[in-house]
Amino acid sequence: MTETRTLSTLEVGQKDLMVMRSLLNLTGSRSGEVTWELIAAPGGDVTLVDVDSDAGLEQWKELQSADPRIVALTRKKDFPARFVLHKPVRSREFIQLLNEVAVAEASEEETVEPAQAVADAPGAWQGNWETMVVERPDQQYTLAEHLRRQSWRSPVVLTRPGWPLILIDPGSGAWFFDGSISELSPPMFAEVMPAAVAVPISSAQLVERCQGLKQRPLSELKWFAGLAQSRGQLHPDLAGNLEFMLTQVPSHASTNQAYQSLARILLRGPRSLDEVHAESEMAPETIVAFLNACYTSGYLLLNRSASAANF
């Protein structure tokens, strides 16, 4: 069943309004399962603001803090918005953007909040490795787990509320972000979310949207998302009677002395959690974060026939 929604346009010039109305008329006003109506006034389901004027930029700043689905219309290729429509307005980009907004809105409504145990977890060890294991709601995973499971096989743009613009291209093993990895906070990586928060984009759209963003190795995102994905809780796949081993030091562990020490222990041969703890004398939270990151990044070898005792 087709749903009708309204696209509000603010500070948009008559020429751009005419182009957008024409494009919607030519496509039957359809964007997926949604029919869009355009109005030059506030109050729509989605708002598009021309940010190339001072008045428009101020309106965008006001509105986007309350609703991340605000669309920025601009000539700037690197404007830092979650949703951007570039001038001159083109049919494919315009319709694709409406699709992205509709998918983002639907996925946000369906998103299940993290279990209270995850949200409130202080990261402190409770005296037993098994108590540090956390289960996830069905089909709701952290970013690290989505990357490990290869939830996305083609280029995507993340549309998570409160997150900066992040593009991922699994095929080339790259991700794009305009900033430092330190700017992505651990609580973000601990969030669980459906795969639908990542909206598929074409290769051409990837090339256009990543302009001005830094290209980085996807292994970096896997590693740091893996470190912070559960705030001191062991990945469920790593619980039970098993031992761990590495065949090489993870590249992104080389700048952390504690992780280098843990890697050297696991390079010497299979070790249980108890053995790693005894040899390293490190806090369980540090060991858990390291093992989770190694597992997410594909470095960790598991021996499930081992007998690892709790302590």
Read off the pLDDT of residues 85-133 as tens digits, 9 standing for 90 and up.
888 887 777 877 777 776 655 544 433 333 222 223 333 344 455 445 5
Q: Scan for tokens 């109050």, then name that residue.
A: 43
What share of the chain has pLDDT > 90, as a percent?
25
Instruction: Give the up-direction half-sphere exposure of residue 21: CA atoms within 13 A in the CB hemisphere.
Output: 12
Q: What is the pTM of this model?
A: 0.57
Strands 243-245 and 214-217: unpaired
- What tokens were used for 309? 């005792």
Q: What is the pLDDT of residue 49?
A: 93
Prior bond to 68 cis, omega within 30? Answer: no
Q: Rounded mean pLDDT of 147-172?
A: 88
- pLDDT of 310 above 50: no
Find the range with the poorest average confidence among 11-15, 131-135, 293-297: 131-135
Between residues 64 and 275, the one the model is more confident about: 275
Q: What is the pLDDT of residue 221?
A: 93
- pLDDT of 174 above 50: yes
Q: Rounded mean pLDDT of 149-161?
A: 88
Q: Rounded mean pLDDT of 253-272?
A: 91
Residues with Cβ < 8 Å from 149, sequence gap 6 or more? 141
- pLDDT of 308 above 80: no
The per-residue pLDDT for range 175-228, each reduced to its tens digit, is 998 888 878 878 888 888 888 889 998 888 888 888 888 889 999 999 999 998
Angle, alpha carbons 42-46-50 (nearest 5°): 65
Q: What is the pLDDT of residue 27?
A: 54
Find the range with the poorest average confidence among 74-88, 206-220, 266-280: 74-88
Q: What is the pLDDT of residue 247?
A: 86
**Spatial contact of 68 and 54, defined as CB atoms under 8 Å apart:** no
Q: What is the pLDDT of residue 51?
A: 92
On average, the pLDDT of the chain sits at 79
Q: What is the pLDDT of residue 264?
A: 94
